[in-house]
Amino acid sequence: MDILSALERQKQDNSDDSRFYDSPRYVTHADEAFCQRLTTLYDRIMAPGDRVFDAMGSWVSHFPKTDLGHVVGHGLNVEELAANDRYDEWIVQNFNEEQSLSLADDAFDVVCCALSVQYLQHPEAVFSEFGRILDDDGAVVVSFTNRMFPTKAIRAWRLASMDGRAELVASYLQAGGLSVTDRIAEGGAGDPFYAVVGQPESTQ
C-alpha cells in the first residue's frame, strides 16, 4: 500500500546517499535530554535477552544497560557501526536503493529506528520488512525530533508539522502490517521528543 506520492518521496539532494554518509559523524543528532528520554523508553520496552535490530543506526544506540541477547546494527557508515559497542554484528545497506533485508522472519523482539526515519523514500517497503523480521509479540520503536539533514529528508517530512510527522510514522507502521500502540510527544526546552511504537496486529 503506497502512503507517499512520487512528489512526496523527493529529496533536494539526489546524489548517492552512501557518498553523503561516507565520513563518520560521531555526534548524537539530538540533545542529551532527548537521548535520556529515548533510553527510558527503550528500558520500558526491552527485556533481558531480547534480540534487537537497530535500523539506520550509528556509533551509539542509546540502549539501556539491559543485557540484550543479540543486537544487529544497520546503517551506511561502516566506521560508525563498528564503533558501536552494543552491536554483535552489522549490515551496511542503503534502504533507498534496496529495501529487502537478508534476515529471517520473526528474528527480532525489538526493531528500533532513531532519528533517521525522515530519510526513507520507500518507507512502506522498509516497514513491511520490519514487520516481517519482528516476532509476533515484538515492538517497533521509531523516534525523531525536529533536527534533520534537510537536503536528504523527503519532501513529505520537510513540509509536515511535528504532529504531522508522527502521523506519517503511524501510517508507515500500518503499511507494514503493524498497529500503533503508543505515541509520545514531549516538548519543552531543548529538542522535542517524539516516538511512535507499533506491534504486530496479531498481538492486539
Instruction: Indicate whether 49 belongs to any domain.
Output: yes
60 domain residue, yes or no: yes
Residue 39 phi/psi, 5-degree rounding, is -60, -40
CATH number at residue 33: 3.40.50.150
Query: What total of structural domains would you count in the chain?
Result: 1
Per DSSP, the three-state class of 167 is helix
The reply to whether 1 falls in a domain is no
Contacts of 200 (CB under 8 A, 6+ apart): 131, 134, 136, 137, 138, 177, 178, 179
| Residue 15, pLDDT score | 78
5 in a structural domain? no
Three-class DSSP labels, 71-93: EEEEECCHHHHHHCCCCCEEEEC
3-class DSSP state of 184: strand
Average pLDDT along the chain, 204 residues, taken 10 residues at a time: 93 78 64 95 98 96 96 95 96 96 97 97 98 97 93 96 97 97 90 97 64
Q: Residue 56's CB: how many other CB atoms inside 10 A?
A: 20
Q: Is residue 148 part of a domain?
A: yes
In a domain, 6, yes or no: no
Kindly state whether residue 11 falls inside one of the protein's structural domains.
no
Q: Give the residue numbers spanning the domain of 145.
A: 17-203
Residue 42 lies in a domain: yes
CA distance 52 to 69: 8
Helix (H), strand (E), coil (C) string for 129-150 = HHHHHEEEEEEEEEEECCCCCC
Residue 57: CB atoms within 10 A of its CB come to 28
